[in-house]
Amino acid sequence: MDTSKEYILMCEKAGEIQEYGHIKSEKWEKEHYPMLPESNSIYRHLPTKENPARLVWLPRQDQLQEMIDYPFPAQLVQDFANWCSENHYYGIGKGKKFKLLENLGHLSMEQLWLAFVMKEKYQKTWNGKEWVK
């Protein structure tokens, strides 16, 4: 499971994905752990002055895969493989392109699947700081 700073930032900035995470704040208020297992998920504690109990959901690879509605798992895997091979570069508008490997740094499967989900469902790509159309 990826708990790197890069993946946490990618998840934090993916508001659409955070809606899938079901955070139970009552449990958090009782247990102050930096990483909290919740329904076989991982949440990362990222406090702010406005919200000291703020949690960011870090979806696992299988949870990311479930977000895309495919009738056959083999088709999902094939489309993901095609996307990976076709997208050596991300186009982020105004003709700018970034190499996928440079843009995401050390790639985890969660980072790749999150990028695929964001592109497929929301037509967004990661520019190293945020998700952009």
Q: How far is CA 64 from CA 45, 53, 91, 120, in A?
A: 20, 24, 22, 12
What is the DSSP annotation of 20-85? T----HHHHHH---SEEEETTEEEEE---SS-TT-EEEE--HHHHHHTS--S-HHHHHHHHHHHHH
> What are the domain boundaries of the chain?
5-125
Locus of tokens 């930096």:
34
> One digit per residue, pLDDT tens: the chain, 133 residues?
888 888 999 999 999 888 776 544 444 444 444 444 444 556 666 655 566 566 788 888 998 998 998 889 999 999 998 887 776 555 444 455 555 545 555 578 999 999 999 999 999 988 889 999 9
Predicted structure pTM score: 0.71
Nearest to 117 by CA among 74, 71, 60, 72: 60
